[in-house]
Amino acid sequence: MRTTLSRRRWLGGAAAGLGALALTGCDRLVASPAADALVRRTEHLTQGAQRLFLQRTSLAAEFTEADLSPVFRANGTRMPESDAYARLLHGGFKDWRLQVDGLVRQPLSLSLDDLMAMPSRTQITRHDCVEGWSAIGKWQGVQLKRVLDAAGLAPGARYVVLHCADELEQTLDGSGRYYESIDLIDAWHPQTLLAYAMNDRRLPVAHGAPLRLRVERQLGYKQAKYLMRLEVVSSFTHLWGGRGGYWEDRGYEWYAGI
Ligand SMILES: Nc1nc2c(c(=O)[nH]1)N[C@H]1C(S)=C(S)[C@@H](COP(=O)(O)O)O[C@H]1N2
Ligand SMILES: [Mo]
């Protein structure tokens, strides 16, 4: 089923490219019957691209307090093992900073207070893990787009890489470190949050304290916990396994749409 989905996405991407081609200089082109036929043939591709774009930008379902799951299980890392994280936790995350760098005009170093001082969004959404469980939780945080606006994107920016504090797999070269990446469509999505609260409390350690990503149109493994650094890049092929995420490097899809 997931293979079918990814094929459909690939076709959509091709349609987007053709659609863009069909839009250039169409006034002059439609003068000839052959060109007219071409425009009519590609019109449905443009509509396909449009539909795909709408799919990517539409909102995930939101729920009510009554729908909250009594138990929201924690998955993957539940407590990062490094001494550095232990120190940050011990200090109540006062010394924790979120670094924002890479292809930005103004690199930032944000404390939790800085993030909490920004306008926040609260949403109740369903988390779907690829392992086959779901849970509904309430998230509060700052929209990622606000942080990116504050940093300002530099030319070439295409993805946001989320670097985490935990190593899910202990390796000599550090390639077991958790990381994720999303494109700018998801980065600008209104429900894409840097969340510091869950169910009206500070984010618990098991769920990613002090800060985690919520990118609600995608599966659980994209919801990076224990955020330390956001790096804006034009490509992620130089990072670890080159596929844009810890699980992606181990065979999972990069775009994990639900
Ligand atoms: N840093 C980090 N983020 C992570 C993981 C992890 O192990 N480390 N696991 C992922 C997976 S597979 C899921 S389903 C969710 C689980 O989030 P939860 O622990 O809040 O339920 O976090 C995701 N983000
Ligand atoms: Mo997951």
Which of the four pLDDT bands, split at 50, 70 and 90, describes residue 257?
A: very high
Mean pLDDT of 65-79: 98
Cα-to-centroid distance, 164 and ligand 1 (Å)? 11
85 within ligand 1 shell (Cβ under 6 A): no
Query: What domains, with CATH codes, occur in the chain?
Result: 60-245 (3.90.420.10)
**Number of the ligand closest to the Cα of 127:** 1
What gap in Å lies between CA 209 and CA 200, rounded to an integer?
14
39 three-state secondary structure? helix
Q: Which atom of ligand 1 is nearest to the CA of 78?
A: 19
Show the 3-state SS of 131-147. CCCEEEEEEEEEEHHHH
Cα-to-centroid distance, 74 and ligand 1 (Å)? 7
214 within ligand 1 shell (Cβ under 6 A): no
Which of the four pLDDT bands, split at 50, 70 and 90, describes residue 249?
A: very high
pTM for the whole thing? Answer: 0.85
Q: What per-residue confidence (pLDDT) applies to 164?
A: 98
**Number of the ligand closest to the Cα of 178:** 1
**120-142: burial string, b at 16+ Cβ within 10 Å, e else:** bbebbbbbbebeeeebbbbbbbb
Q: Which atom of ligand 1 is nearest to the CA of 76?
A: 7
Q: Which atom of ligand 1 is nearest to the CA of 77?
A: 7
Q: What is the pLDDT of residues 5-62, one digit of tens each?
A: 332 333 333 334 433 444 444 455 556 777 777 777 777 778 888 888 888 889 999 9
218 within ligand 1 shell (Cβ under 6 A): no
- Tell the residue nearest (CA) to atom 14 of ligand 1: 220
104 within ligand 1 shell (Cβ under 6 A): no
AA letter at 60: A
Share the mean pLDDT of the chain: 89
Q: What is the pLDDT of residues 124-176, one digit of tens each?
A: 999 999 999 999 999 999 999 999 999 999 999 999 999 999 999 988 888 89
